[in-house]
Amino acid sequence: MSEEKHKGERIAKAIARAGICSRRDAEKLIEKGNVKVNGKQISSAALNITTEDHIVVNGKPLPKLEQTRLFLYHKPPGLVTSHRDEKGRSTVFDELPDHMPRVVSIGRLDLNTEGLLLLTNDGGLSRHLELPDTGWKRKYRVRVNGKVNERRLLSLKNGITVEGVRYKSIDAKLEGQPEDREEAGANSWISITLLEGKNREIRRVMEALGLKVTRLIRTDYGPFSLGKMQRGAVSEVKTDVMSKQISQYFKDKNIVLKRTEPENNTRFGSTNNSEKTNNYKKPYAKSGDSNKNTQKNTGFSKKRDKK
């Protein structure tokens, strides 16, 4: 078919936004001939489509675009952050509740890294929030084994090159008072803040300082915090929070978020006020916002707990 450009959005973006797969995987599906537009097979992702076009992916019509949703997930260690694992290991997505929509991760956490992982049904939002240009900081707590040189730790603000890889400014601070550190022996906790997170960055940088990482927890991603969420728990971000904190994305994509009433989330479990957790950092909010929690802790648990 003629792949003449027209108004709309790139087809790979549309497939990703529908939650089928990532944009990159969508492009691969197109190259393999697994995508049809208006009944005709396409072989190039250089095509814009509109809501009037009929898209079929892997023999199934492209699902109607759902409203963008964002979730916070407390990833336990030992899970792979991918939909498929060639080694057959359990993935984050294997452990999500049955009634969750299909989601993709915003960034990744290593197999043995735990803590806050953002999930969304909007592939475009995932890419947007992964970009360092978004300006969202990632915060971690790292337990290391070895003698910590605080001067070298502070020098990480100037960046560091490890085995030919250049890592940008890293804000790293040793936790606790000196007397507490002595009692802890060879193990110490370090708070680390990154603006970008390259593959295994923290582990490699700590190794370059002569330290072995024995535990790594991501506590914050931009304005969102792990708070007191239990391992395996999922909390959905309210639409009004998304509209404030990710406003530029929705403006650029001309996406209008419809306010979701609390009762619309009852299929994911009800929540008592006493069960709410503070997963949202107020400094990111505009002045005048209320002090109410901006996420609802839905009390999700792993599938294996549902016996």
Active site residues: 110
- The CA distance from 256 to 252, in Å, is 11
Q: What residues have CB less than 8 Å from 290, skipping those under 6 apart?
A: none
- The CA distance from 295 to 221, in Å, is 14
Is 111:78 a contact under the CB 8 Å cutoff? yes
How far CA 167 is from CA of 171, 221, 298, in Å, comes to: 12, 19, 37
Is 38:54 a contact under the CB 8 Å cutoff? yes
- The CA distance from 40 to 10, in Å, is 16
DSSP 86-98: TT---BGGGSS-T
Is 67:101 a contact under the CB 8 Å cutoff? no
Specify whether the backbone of 200 is left (phi greater than 0), alpha (psi in -120 to 50) or beta.
left
Closest CA to 49 of 35, 60, 59: 35
Is 194:141 a contact under the CB 8 Å cutoff? no
* Residue 296 CB coordination number (10 Å): 20
What is the 8-class DSSP label of residue 286?
Answer: P
In sequence order, the β-bridge partners of residue 120 are: 70, 104
C-alpha atoms less than 13 angstroms from C-alpha of 265 in its C-beta half-sphere? 22
What is the dihedral sign for C-alpha 256, 259, 265, 271? positive
